Structure 1
Amino acid sequence: MAASLREVRVARGKGLRELARMVRILPQLLSAWEKGQRVPQPEDVARLLGALRVDDVTYDRMMRLARHARDDNWLDSNPSDLPPALSGIVEYERTATRITMWSLAVLPGILQTPDYARDVLTNAEIGLAQADAMLVARLERQRILVKPEPVRLTAFLGEMAIREQIGSAEIMSDQMDHLTRVADLPNVSLRIVPRNIGYHPGLIGPFVLYEFGSLPPIVHLESSHATAFLHDEDVVRDYRRQAKILANRALSEDATRDLFREVAR
């Protein structure tokens, strides 16, 4: 919700102090809402949206977020446009100090080449305009790996994710070359979890764990029709445990690079 509040304000061309003055609140309070440091009441969000004169679709979406913003865990069961689900992910990626992710069968968006991403999105049964918007957002998100103070990324990848051909053989070869380059970044650890090693919790499904400097960690789960953000301490602890299990089963970083090169041939 914090990310969407800021997006709506910027889209309407309003400065933070200007909007705060319009609704008669302190700029510091509005800033805290936009940073996710404090949670506004639904009536506060309604005042902001009224001052910004947003359309009905945006109003309904934002009010739905406002009503559920204090929930321990949040589920978006129909992420039909970029926000709120993707807006939340972008904000988590932008502000996280460490990201740990597990992907079983498809490479995560933050590691995809444009051609790989385009093939995934165009075959996902979504509209062309939405696919284009998601492609642009997906490629922009990758900048967190090379910004001045980059996030520390640990990505466990199922072997199927690099063996399954997405697009042409050339696309996959380029994708493997890209993974090799990313794996050389000092803030990135990529490790393949081999096939046929028996049961492990990762077989249940992918996850992303976001950790922050001064805020509680968040787990992100995604399926074809739902996106969940989990904050419960016990849930987060369980996914930390899953990450440790995957680390024990995964190939080393060097062996992973060798496998990328082998698949790229």
Structure 2
Amino acid sequence: MPPRTAVTGRSQEPRRRFAEELRLMRTQRGESLRQLGKALGWDASLFGKLESGQTIGSPEVAEALDQHYGTPGLLLALWELAAADPTQFKERYRRYMFLESQAVNLWHYAVSVLPGLLQTEGYARALLTAGGITGTELTKQVDARIGRCEVLNADNAPHFRTILSEAVLRTPLADTNEWRKQLEHVVAMGERPNITIQVVRLDVGPHALPNTDTMFLRLPGGRTSAWVETAYSGELVQESESVERLQHAYDAVRDLALSPADSRKFILQTLEEVPCEPST
């Protein structure tokens, strides 16, 4: 095997380097994308996107590839460099993304849009377009967001609970076919043993988290951090007293939410209300 360039923070194009390294390792093994996907339990199309640089995937995928190729830590280090690339994610998200990849439990509350971990490509594209992102940057951010969803597909995936404000389900996409796909995806994800989805109805009135998307990350060792976000900014909260105060607010909202079973019925009812448009 030819010598490899040292992995350092001075790598000029970490995303491209990551893609090239993956392609080199696979071709030297003589594996097809289909064979690689079968060996690791992910769809072959994911590895095609990784090797073309369309997405960087998740740290779980990088770790699985390190184990497969016998390169402990190399691909994960390259993934971390790619994730830290300022063209990939803004500075304020980097620490949060790392903690998200390490979390053993994730608890979330959504004010008006679905959490990124449950978004389809069409939904993510519509949201980012509405935010003014276009062209190649749009494609890059959509792929990055969908790649992060792999955290829920790993063998040791964390338990993920999200409480959705009813407003999330009452804010459809302009494309009803894409909206239907998104709701069907939410229903399917809610059937997984590591995912719990609840809905808090609008008629419960004011509550403790009226306008703040919140994600709690329970980390190995029992420590919990929180990420709070608006449409324009996000903040990582790690001071224990502040996290505990947010946790109390979250628990109060959860007490108001429908049960997981009733929430599923509510989402299915919402899905039935979506008009069917003939495919073109």
Query: TM (normalized to structure 2)?
Result: 0.65
Give the structure 2 partner of residue 206 of structure 1: 213
Corresponding position of 1:143: 150
1:94-133 equivalences in 2 (<5 Å): 94-133=101-140
**Residues 13, 262 of structure 1: alpha-carbon distance in 2 compared, 3 angstrom cutoff:** closer
AA in 1 matched with 2:266: L
Deviations 1:204-236 (A, max 9, x none): 321111110137321111223222111111110
State the AA in 2 paired with 1:246.
V
Instruction: Give how far 1:202 is off.
Output: 1.4
Match of 2:168 in 1: 161
- Deviations 1:83-104 (CA, angstroms, capped at 9, x unpaired): 3233333322211101111011
**Overall identity of the aligned pairs, in %:** 19
Output the amino acid matched with 1:174: K
* Unpaired stretches in structure 2, ≥5 consecutive residues: 1-6, 19-80, 273-280
Give the match's secondary structure for 1:148. coil
Q: Would you say how many aligned residue pairs link Structure 1 and Structure 2?
A: 201
1: CA distance, partners of 2:10 / 2:127? 29
- Consecutive unaligned residues in structure 1, runs of 5 or more: 15-57, 63-78
- Provide, for residues 14-67 of structure 1, a one-character-per-residue CA deviation record: whole Å limited to 9, x for no partner: 9xxxxxxxxxxxxxxxxxxxxxxxxxxxxxxxxxxxxxxxxxxx9xx99xxxxx
* Partner of residue 177, structure 2: 170
Amino acid at match of 2:161: T
Question: For residues 183 and 122 of structure 1, what CA distance do their matches in structure 2 show?
Answer: 27
Contact 1:81 1:130 in 2 (8 A): no
Are 1:216 and 1:231, in contact at CA under 8 Å, matched by a contact in 2? no
1:174 Cα deviation (Å)? 1.2
CA shift for structure 1 position 183: 0.4
Task: Please name the residue that 2:262 is paired with.
Answer: 255
For residues 231 and 181 of structure 1, the distance between their equivalents in structure 2, rounded to whole angstroms, comes to 33
- Please tell me whether the aligned partners of residues 173 and 263 of structure 1 are also in contact (alpha carbons under 8 angstroms): no
Q: Deviations over 1:133-187 (max 9, x none)?
A: 2211111111111201011101000011011112322222111111111000101
**Counterparts of 2:224 and 2:10 in 1: how far apart (Å)?**
25
In structure 2, what is the Cα distance between the partners aligned to 1:182 and 1:126?
27
2:95 aligns with 88
| Cα distance in structure 2, aligned partners of 1:122 and 1:185 | 30
Deviation at 1:106, TM superposition (A): 0.8
Q: What is the CA-CA distance between 1:6 and the residue it aligns to?
A: 7.6
SS at match of 2:223: coil
Alignment of 1:28-107 (within 5 A): 82-107=89-114
The answer to whether residue 233 in structure 2 is matched with residue 232 in structure 1 is no
- RCO higher in structure (CA 8 A, sep ≥6): 1
The residue matched to 1:204 in structure 2 has which SS?
Answer: coil
Would the aligned equivalents of 1:104 and 1:161 in 2 still touch at CA under 8 Å? yes
CA–CA separation in structure 1 for the residues paired with 2:90 and 2:97: 10
Higher mean Cα deviation, 166-175 or 241-250? 166-175
